[in-house]
Amino acid sequence: MSKTISWVDSLSVYKDIRMLRILLLGSISGFPWVLIASSLSLWLKEEGLSRSTIGWAGLIFGVYAFNYLWAPIIDRIQIPLLTKKLGHRRGWIVLMQIIILLSLIVWSVINPTENLALLISVGLIIAIASATQDITVDALRIEQINENEGKSMAAGAAMAVVGWWTGYKLGGVVALFTAEYFENLGIIDYWQATFLILGVLIILMNIGLMFVHEPIETDRQAKQKETDELIGRKLGSSNVITNFIAYITGTIGGPIISFFRKNGFAIAAAILGFVFLFKIGEAFMGRMSIVFYKEIGFSKGQIALYSKGLGWITTVVFTLLGGLMAMRAGTIKTMFFAGGLMAITNILFAVLAWTGKSEILFAIAVIADDITAAFATVAFVAFISLLVDRTYTATQYALLASIGTAGRTTLASSSGALVDWLNGNWGTFFILTTIMVIPSLVCLWLIKDKIKIGAK
């Protein structure tokens, strides 16, 4: 039976310098969502595009659901010059950041109504670069912590979530206030000008990345080579073709085989089912939230203050508390707790829709939603971080994360169409998102005693 640690001892885990590095990595991961979620949605809304169009534009998030497909390449392929100078993980992150920066420059010179296809295409490029970057960011974050440090992994998951929301929320504050400032100055293309300012933030984050140490890893490559050789022996004769087949099979199949071997087929499949379902309701609500805020009568400044600024403070505090709860009660109990909160907070938004514009109710709903997101995300990240095999860190984490994203992105892209089908009845929409929470909790209940992780 494990010894219960005090709250003070739990908090002391956060003082580790590695937590600060993980915070930065989380910020780098969260910031692109400011561009393709909040900023893009509001930009299209203010250009007069329909809710359905904005919702379907969110299909670009679908790439996050499929980044597992190229995660094996990220785990193995080295980038000329960058890998040698910065390290394997950091080299990939910097390359993706450069692509995002160039995409922002393109956005800054186009008209969305005249070039909608180009705008969405550039958004897709940002999403692909961000999803690719996430593969490496998550791997580098996990590799900061040793495999036997369960408490530090939970704390690291909390810091990663705090970092993600810091990049997303504070980045959103900068984006919304900058856009409103430029609009008040009379600048017609105020969003285009805003994207140039956001590009500066990307440059600053890359400078900070240079202070994140990349662990020297040689064991991973050795084990990957062993897998290739094992497959090669199964294929029989050794030649260029069989060696290539062994390499490709080991790259793609090795991580999957390892995951199912560790958990058993039935439990592994059940885990994947839970991961897919867990945050669908939250995603439906999140995709349309900024459109709802705008329709109900809130300005960009008010959205920035309540949803981004106030929301960031709430998220930081309760993510750290969520990390403590995960350390003390276990990730499974924390996920049940978060699931219940999700259902309750979605009802608050239904009440806001039914009663009309109210800054107080808006603030309460946003705070409750951020508390929920904090607990849910930290438990989820800790859960899948504990499941991965260090031989395939990037690939297995990407597999689990992308399956979770698949539910949130592919299904939630219809959120705008659902609101239109409901004839703009936001209250009913939010009630439906509440019901969407239930299936994942049923799935988790069925597998809770069979999952092989350090602390449940």
Mean pLDDT of the residues in the chain: 79
* Average pLDDT of span 228-249: 61
pLDDT grade for 407, boundaries at 50, 70 and 90? low
CA dist., res. 175 & res. 441, Å (int):
35
CA dist., res. 444 & res. 424, Å (int):
33
The answer to whether residue 206 sits within a structural domain is yes
pLDDT grade for 389, boundaries at 50, 70 and 90? low
Q: Taken in order 90, 74, 226, 254, is the CA torsion positive or negative? A: positive
Higher pLDDT, 61 or 158: 158
pLDDT grade for 230, boundaries at 50, 70 and 90? low
CA dist., res. 87 & res. 82, Å (int):
7
The answer to whether residue 231 sits within a structural domain is no
pLDDT of residue 35: 84
The answer to whether residue 236 sits within a structural domain is no
pLDDT of residue 8: 63
DSSP notation for 248-290 = HHHHHHHHHHHHHHHH-HHHHHHHHHHHHHTTHHHHHHHHHHH
In percent, how much of the chain has pLDDT > 70? 81
State pTM to two decimals. Answer: 0.67
CA quadruple 233, 235, 236, 242: dihedral, nearest 10: -100
Give me the domain span that covers residue 397: 7-216+253-447
pLDDT of residue 384: 77
* Average pLDDT of span 255-270: 74
The answer to whether residue 59 sits within a structural domain is yes
pLDDT at 1 exceeding the cut of 50: no
pLDDT of residue 126: 92
pLDDT of residue 2: 43
pLDDT of residue 93: 92
Helix ranges restricted to H, 87-218: 88-107, 116-142, 150-165, 171-184, 190-209
CA dist., res. 205 & res. 199, Å (int):
10
Out of 193-202, 212-221, 432-441, least confident range: 212-221
pLDDT of residue 214: 77
In percent, how much of the chain has pLDDT > 90? 6
Q: What angle do CA 122, 124, 129 make, to 5 degrees?
A: 95
pLDDT of residue 219: 57
Burial 317-349 (b: 16+ CB within 10 A, else e): ebbbebbbbbbbebbbbbbebbbebbbebbbbb
The answer to whether residue 313 sits within a structural domain is yes
CA 214 to chain centre: 21
Structure tokens at 155: 């704390």
The answer to whether residue 245 sits within a structural domain is no
pLDDT at 135 exceeding the cut of 60: yes
* Average pLDDT of span 144-155: 72
Q: CA gyration radius for the chain?
A: 22
The answer to whether residue 228 sits within a structural domain is no
The answer to whether residue 396 sits within a structural domain is yes
Q: How does pLDDT run across 213-229, given as a tens digit for each residue?
A: 776 554 555 655 665 55
Q: Which CA distances in Å does 375 have to 151, 324, 333, 368?
A: 16, 10, 11, 11
Q: What is the CATH classification number for the domain harbouring 131?
A: 1.20.1250.20
Question: Number of folded domains in the chain?
Answer: 1
